[in-house]
């Protein structure tokens, strides 16, 4: 059943089989959860909201809160004004959030609901209590992917909530991109060690990686607070990570409040993390790198040196979100591996352009494709196998059929735990990836080798 993929490749112009992406509202919902005391609201049918919540819940192994306009046939024909107005009344009465973040779905986009006008009317009618805020982002599921939805919601948060007083604050903004709570926590740890005050937007640490203390909070203690978001217009600079998910928000803030934007790739691996640390040095009081960070970098270099013989020229297939894939490829090249197949399900010409810059000098025959799917990736592998797959959970089907080690990175990871607790970014994230990659290769060798080669020591 799992091996229904054929090796013969037939060009497909529209059909996607096992697409390597999901829809915009999931990304918008995730970004909204990174605001403290925020209720994500899905303006569409109950089924849409249920899918988005369940997908995030399965990845983070945490309950994901969200509300819905609960469209019926009537709303689908006559519009969702009444549904959204009633929903806002219920939300503030029952749950009392500080912010409601509305994102649209296919249905509300097709019928053309004007969300700003509906919200303005609700405010005038007293449906939105004084001091409460309603923001929105247009996130049609039939355009883009979850990373576009994430970027759209982050930009919307900035457009609605960021302010400028005219007095520059001793802080920077960090837009971390669509990464794990552990990654956002790692950004916080690094800026704290460097003594650089930072507003991280959004910040899902403490929201989707919380502990169990016997009490339930509708709105966990984590998330970027409203005062922090409002202060972003007074920051010294904004560091945006990821061309697709971090840069749009940083550029929005630069356009709105003239906060200088510094644009980076996700700091996965040595060189990309070096770029982050060098940037933080410019804002550090003494311009020095904390000794603990230098020690972490040294351990990464040592680990790469120790394990180099196991990585050399290993063929790797990489699939996932474009920002993750680009940075993972950079790291694999640092390890001495050869990314030969690189795909994303999302659109964006920058993806192919940047990967050709990275791979053409060292892996000139690499296959690189945006808006691809796992079916096509499997076909490539059937025609020329690889030694390792780096992908989300959906890569497990290829890994099982072809007996290839799989390292799970990105979104979604539905069949393992730990990804929300352990970072992928920074030097500590690099060490974790080294551990995962090396052990996956060793497990494959132990599983498949002849008995006389089954060694106690690797």
pTM exceeding 0.85:
yes
- Pair 363, 338: CB distance under 8 Å: yes
Query: Is residue 156 located within the same domain as residue 300?
Result: no
Which residue among the candidates 110, 168, 362, 449 is catalytic per the annotation? 110
Query: Is residue 70 located within the same domain as residue 143?
Result: yes
Q: Does residue 16 sit within a domain?
A: no
Locate 341 and state its tokens.
Answer: 């197949």
Q: Which of 273, 289, 305 is the last residue of a domain?
A: 289
Q: Which of 289, 313, 340 is the last residue of a domain?
A: 289
The pLDDT tens digits for 138-149 are 999 889 999 999
Query: Is residue 439 located within the same domain as residue 303?
Result: yes
Q: Does residue 166 sit within a domain?
A: no
Locate 391 and state its tokens.
Answer: 């992908």
Q: Does residue 10 sit within a domain?
A: no
**Distance from C-alpha of 172 to C-alpha of 178, rounded to nearest angstrom:** 19
Top pLDDT among 113 and 359 is at 359
Which CATH number covers residue 270?
A: 3.40.50.1980
Locate 185 and state its tokens.
Answer: 């926590």
Q: Does residue 9 sit within a domain?
A: no
**Distance from C-alpha of 359 to C-alpha of 339, rounded to nearest angstrom:** 8
Detail the DSSP E strand segments found in 160-259. 172-175, 198-200, 238-241
pLDDT at 342 over 70: yes
The candidate with the shortest Cα–Cα distance to 19, out of 354, 418, 420, 347, is 347
Q: Does residue 386 sit within a domain?
A: yes
Query: Is residue 244 located within the same domain as residue 332?
Result: no
110 given a catalytic annotation: yes
Angle between the N-to-C axes of helices 291-311 and 181-193, in degrees from 0 to 180, rounded to the nearest 10: 130
Q: Does residue 252 sit within a domain?
A: yes
Query: Is residue 384 located within the same domain as residue 367?
Result: yes
Locate 264 and state its tokens.
Answer: 């980076």
Query: Is residue 134 located within the same domain as residue 280?
Result: no
Q: Does residue 167 sit within a domain?
A: no
**Distance from C-alpha of 328 to C-alpha of 398, rounded to nearest angstrom:** 19
Query: Is residue 46 located within the same domain as residue 116?
Result: yes
**Distance from C-alpha of 334 to C-alpha of 259, rounded to nearest angstrom:** 33
Query: Is residue 30 located within the same domain as residue 154?
Result: yes
* Helices and strands, number each (H, E), in the chain: 17, 13
pLDDT at 1 over 70: no
23 given a catalytic annotation: no
Query: Is residue 435 located within the same domain as residue 299?
Result: yes
Query: Is residue 359 located within the same domain as residue 247?
Result: no
Q: Which residues contact 266 (CB under 8 A, 6 or more apart)?
A: 177, 179, 241, 242, 246, 272, 323, 324, 326, 327, 425
Query: Is residue 280 located within the same domain as residue 428?
Result: no
Q: Which of 270, 289, 308 is the last residue of a domain?
A: 289
Reported residue count of the chain is: 458
The pLDDT tens digits for 362-402 are 999 999 999 999 999 999 999 999 999 999 999 999 999 99
Query: Is residue 200 located within the same domain as residue 220?
Result: yes
Residue-number span of the structural domain to which 448 is assigned = 292-453
pLDDT at 75 over 90: no
**Distance from C-alpha of 203 to C-alpha of 133, rounded to nearest angstrom:** 19
Q: How many domains does the chain have?
A: 3
The end-to-end CA distance of the chain, in Å, is 35
Q: How many Cα atoms occupy the beta-carbon half-sphere of 161 within 13 Å?
A: 32
Confidence class for position 90, pLDDT limits 50, 70, 90: very high
Lowest average pLDDT, out of 164-168, 188-192, 215-219, goes to 215-219
Which residue among the candidates 106, 179, 199, 407 is catalytic per the annotation? 106
Q: Does residue 14 sit within a domain?
A: no
């Amino acid at each position: 059943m799992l091996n229904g993929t054929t090796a013969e490749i037939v060009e497909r112009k529209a059909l996607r089989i096992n697409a390597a992406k999901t829809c915009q509202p999931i990304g918008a919902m995730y970004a909204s959860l990174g605001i403290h005391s925020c209720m994500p609201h899905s303006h569409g049918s109950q089924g849409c909201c249920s899918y988005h919540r369940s997908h995030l819940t399965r990845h983070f192994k945490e309950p994901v809160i969200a509300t819905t306009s609960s469209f019926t046939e009537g709303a689908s024909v006559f519009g969702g004004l009444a549904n959204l107005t009633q929903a806002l009344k219920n939300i503030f009465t029952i749950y009392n959030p500080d912010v409601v973040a509305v994102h649209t779905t296919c249905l509300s986009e097709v019928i053309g609901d004007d969300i700003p006008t509906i919200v303005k009317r609700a405010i005038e009618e007293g449906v939105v209590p004084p001091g409460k805020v309603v923001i929105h982002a247009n996130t049609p599921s039939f355009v883009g992917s979850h990373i576009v939805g994430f970027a759209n919601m982050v930009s919307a948060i900035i457009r609605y909530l960021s302010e400028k007083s005219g007095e520059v604050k001793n802080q920077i903004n960090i837009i971390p991109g669509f990464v794990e709570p552990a990654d956002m926590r790692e950004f916080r740890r690094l800026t704290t060690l460097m003594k650089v005050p930072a507003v991280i937007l959004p910040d899902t640490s403490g929201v989707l990686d919380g502990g169990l203390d016997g009490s339930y909070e509708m709105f966990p203690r984590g998330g970027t607070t409203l005062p922090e978001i409002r202060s972003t217009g007074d920051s010294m600079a904004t560091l945006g990570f990821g061309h697709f998910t971090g840069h749009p928000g940083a550029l929005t803030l630069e356009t709105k409040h003239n906060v200088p934007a510094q644009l980076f790739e996700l700091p996965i691996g040595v060189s990309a993390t070096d770029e982050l640390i060098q940037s933080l040095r410019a804002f550090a009081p003494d311009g020095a790198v904390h000794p603990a960070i230098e020690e972490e970098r040294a351990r990464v270099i040592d680990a790469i040196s120790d394990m180099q013989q196991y990585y050399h020229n290993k063929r790797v297939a990489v699939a996932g979100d474009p920002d993750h894939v680009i940075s993972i490829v950079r790291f694999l090249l640092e390890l001495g591996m050869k990314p030969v197949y690189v795909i994303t399900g999302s659109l964006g010409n920058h993806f192919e352009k940047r990967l050709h810059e990275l791979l053409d000098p060292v892996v000139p025959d690499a296959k690189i494709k945006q808006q691809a799917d796992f079916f096509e990736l499997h076909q490539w592998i059937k025609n020329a196998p690889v030694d390792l797959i780096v992908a989300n959970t959906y890569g497990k089907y290829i890994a099982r059929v072809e007996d290839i080690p799989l390292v799970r990175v990105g979104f979604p990871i539905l069949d393992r735990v730990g990804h929300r607790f352990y970072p992928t970014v920074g030097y500590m994230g690099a060490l974790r990836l080294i551990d995962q990659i090396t052990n996956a290769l060793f497990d494959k060798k132990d599983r498949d080798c002849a008995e006389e080669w089954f060694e106690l020591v690797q």
